[in-house]
Amino acid sequence: MLNDKRLAAAVISAAKNGTLKYRDRDMNLDLIGDGWALTVWKDYARKNLRKTLAVFVEMLGEIPAKCCLDIYKTKDGFAAQEEDEEVFAEEMSFLMLCSRPEECKLTPLSIGGKRLLQTFDGRIAAVTGAALGIAAFAEDMPLVNEGFDRVRWVESYWELTGEAMRPKDSPDESRIAAIWHALEALALVEWQSGRAEREADGQMEIGGTHEDS
């Protein structure tokens, strides 16, 4: 289940920074925001995303139908202009692509405010942006792509992708990369194979406040 409150906030934030794109097509509603993309059945949205749909009514006076739009902030409120649907479809396909996906689990740890996830073989990545909050109630495990730069949640009525990251191979990242490599030697989550779950009391913040370069 999607977190309607977090999604509504992410929609407003994306509109304010000029990254919000909207498409109504057939049975689906497609959204592109700041570092995230969502496709959701409209019937599901009507029943479960009422706060989010209300945001579009507040911004545009209606829930736009059968259209493709850029939605952005103006000095007087919000406005929308038509977006080329082929351009939108190409961007959406790129954002939703998750090549050679691997199941992963969220760990109780974060670095620099970014929540860590870990695959079965121990590799870790950090989820960035709003996607983690939007998917807070997801029932299934997320998937991470082979480049470890995108995380995807797939449920019965919606699919969501968000940005992920690993430390860059550069001197500026050397300290944080060393922490990551040490963590990858540990079993931070429990798998059915019997990997031990690392003892942790709630979420732990490590490594200070690292920012992406």
pTM (2 d.p.): 0.84
Task: Give residue 196's pLDDT.
Answer: 42
**Mean pLDDT on 154-181:** 82
Q: Does the residue 23 lie in any domain?
A: yes
Q: Do 107 and 79 lie in a common domain?
A: no
Domain boundary among 40, 69, 96: 96
Q: What is the pLDDT of residues 98-125, one digit of tens each?
A: 788 899 999 988 887 888 999 998 989 8
**Mean pLDDT on 186-209:** 55
**CA angle centred on 14, ends 161 and 125, rounded to 5°:** 35
Q: What is the pLDDT of residues 47-57, one digit of tens each?
A: 999 999 999 99
Q: Show the domain range for 12.
A: 4-96
Q: Do 14 and 73 lie in a common domain?
A: yes
Q: Does the residue 65 lie in any domain?
A: yes
Q: Do 19 and 86 lie in a common domain?
A: yes
Number of structural domains found in the chain: 2
Q: Do 13 and 92 lie in a common domain?
A: yes
Would the pLDDT of 67 be above 90?
yes
Q: Do 92 and 30 lie in a common domain?
A: yes
Q: Do 22 and 75 lie in a common domain?
A: yes
Q: Does the residue 204 lie in any domain?
A: no
Q: Do 114 and 84 lie in a common domain?
A: no
Q: Do 112 and 75 lie in a common domain?
A: no
Residue 201: pLDDT band with limits 50, 70, 90: very low
31-35, 82-86, 171-175: the lowest-pLDDT one: 171-175
Q: Strand locations in the chain, DSSP E?
A: 20-25, 28-32, 36-41, 68-74, 77-82, 102-111, 114-119, 124-127, 143-144, 150-154, 158-165, 204-206
Q: Do 106 and 191 lie in a common domain?
A: yes
Q: Do 62 and 130 lie in a common domain?
A: no
